[in-house]
């Protein structure tokens, strides 16, 4: 196995590890740190794939992802956290071991789905497909169990990280136009959510989504 493929595999494993850490992390600030770390791993793995396959366009994609996910979005989130006064907030997350166990089951499921696919694929990094699928499922789980608006959004962003990871490590990147479109959507989405947080807090005095009344079904 060539060295770059080993490095991508290692980064893939670290990516999954961070996804797990995000699932179990209670403190919002640490969650943002983990998100930035995940973005960094993502950018590095894109660089590794670009180096291995001699695709210069991937360097651009790595730079874009790195800029967006390691610097811009975490900075926006830090600002939001500071302005909303959530710096030391921690979420009541019950039963972390159970949560991790469910995550583990999801992982087994994802790997099981991925195994036949991985053997068919021609690309060198086919093995990372299962990891990408697993981290997507983990982010979904995180969105389900989180109860505050900000943490749900972090789950959403990490979901998007997993998707980009799938796109680059498995297929060597989507066409640039599509990637730019996705990046644009993400950044606009983050801005809209930022606006949202203030509206929600204005109306509900909290970002805890349990405060949403149950309206008529």
Partner 1 sequence: MIILSILFMPLAGAFVLGLYGHRPWAFAANIGFSAATAVATAVMTARVLAHGPFLALHDQAFVDPFNVFLVDLTAFVTLTTAVFSRAYMHIESHMGRLTAGRLRLYHSMFQLFALTMLVALLTNNIGILWVAMEGATLSTTLLVSLYRTPASLEAAWKYFILCGVGIALALFGTIMLYFSAHALIGGQASLLWTDLDRVRTRLDPTIVGVAFAFLLLGYGTKVGLVPVHNWLPDAHAEGPTPISAVLSGLLLNVALYAVVRFQVLADGSLRDRWPNQLMMAFGLLSVLVAAFSLARQRDIKRLLSYSSIEHMGLATFAFGMGGPIAIFAALLHMTVHSLTKSSLFFSGGHIAQKTGTQRIDQIQGLLGRNPAMGWAFMLGTLAILGTPPFGVFTSEFLILTVAIHKEPWALPFLAVGLGVAFAALFGRMQAMVFGETRVPKAPAPTSLWPSFLHLALVLTLGLAIPPALSRWYTAAARLLGH
Partner 2 sequence: MTSRALILQCLQCALVFAGAPLLAGWVEQCRAWFGNRHGAGPLQPYRVLRKLWRKELVVAHAASWVFRTAPYLLVAAMIIAGSIVPLLAPIVPLAPAADAIALVGVFAFARMVSALAAMDIGTGFGSMGARREMLIGFLAEPALLMVLFTPALISHSTSLAVIVRQLTTTRLFLYPSMAFAASAYVMVLLAENARIPVDNPDTHLELTMIHGALHLEYAGRHLALMEWAGAIKLATYMAIGIALFLPWGMSATGSASGIALATGLLAVKMTAAGTALAAIETLLAKLRLFRVPEFLGTAFMVAVLGILVHFLLGT
Site residues for partner 2 per CB under 8 A: 1, 3, 6-7, 9-10, 12-14, 16-17, 20, 24, 96-97, 100-101, 103-104, 107-108, 111, 114-115, 118, 127-128, 130-131
CB atoms within 10 A of CB 84: 19
**Residues 82/148/144/20 CA torsion (nearest 10 deg):** 40
CB of 88 to partner 2, least distance (A): 14
Contact flag: residue 73 with partner 1 (CB under 8 A)? no
**CB-nearer residue toward partner 2: 81 or 110:** 110
**CB-nearer residue toward partner 1: 66 or 162:** 162
| Residue 68 binds which of partner 1, partner 2, none (CB < 5-8 A, kind-dependent) | none
**CB-nearer residue toward partner 2: 60 or 118:** 118
CB of 6 to partner 1, least distance (A): 21
CB of 68 to partner 1, least distance (A): 16
Give helix 149-171 / helix 73-83 axis angle, nearest 10°: 170
Binding to partner 1 in span 115-154, by CB under 8 A: 116-117, 120-123, 129, 133, 136, 140, 143, 149, 152
Contact flag: residue 216 with partner 1 (CB under 8 A)? yes
- Output the six-digit token pair for 185: 């959507």
Distance CA(37)–CA(30), nearest Å, equals 10
Contact 166, 136 (CB under 8 A): yes
Contact flag: residue 200 with partner 1 (CB under 8 A)? yes
| Residue 9 binds which of partner 2, partner 1, none (CB < 5-8 A, kind-dependent) | partner 2
Which listed range, 42-50, 77-85, 92-100, 184-192, lies at the site for partner 1 (CB under 8 A)?
Answer: 184-192
């Amino acid at each position: 196995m060539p060295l770059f493929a080993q490095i991508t595999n290692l980064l893939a494993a670290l990516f999954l590890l961070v996804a797990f850490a995000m699932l179990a992390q209670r403190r919002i600030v640490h969650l943002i740190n983990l998100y930035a770390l995940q973005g960094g791993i993502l950018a590095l793995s894109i660089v590794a794939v670009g180096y291995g396959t001699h695709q210069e366009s991937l360097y651009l994609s790595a730079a874009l992802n790195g800029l967006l996910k390691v610097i811009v979005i975490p900075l926006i989130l830090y600002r939001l956290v500071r302005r909303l006064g959530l710096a030391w907030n921690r979420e009541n997350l019950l039963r972390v071991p159970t949560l991790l166990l469910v995550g583990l089951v999801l992982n087994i499921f994802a790997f099981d789905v991925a195994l036949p696919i991985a053997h068919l694929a021609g690309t060198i990094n086919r093995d990372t497909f299962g990891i990408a699928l697993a981290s997507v499922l983990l982010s979904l789980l995180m969105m389900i169990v989180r109860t505050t608006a900000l943490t749900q959004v972090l789950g959403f962003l990490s979901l998007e990280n997993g998707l980009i990871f799938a796109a680059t490590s498995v297929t060597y990147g989507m066409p640039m136009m599509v990637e730019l479109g996705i990046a644009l959507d993400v950044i606009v989405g983050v801005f809209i959510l930022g606006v949202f947080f203030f509206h929600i807090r204005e109306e509900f005095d909290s970002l805890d989504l349990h405060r949403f009344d149950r309206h008529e079904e």
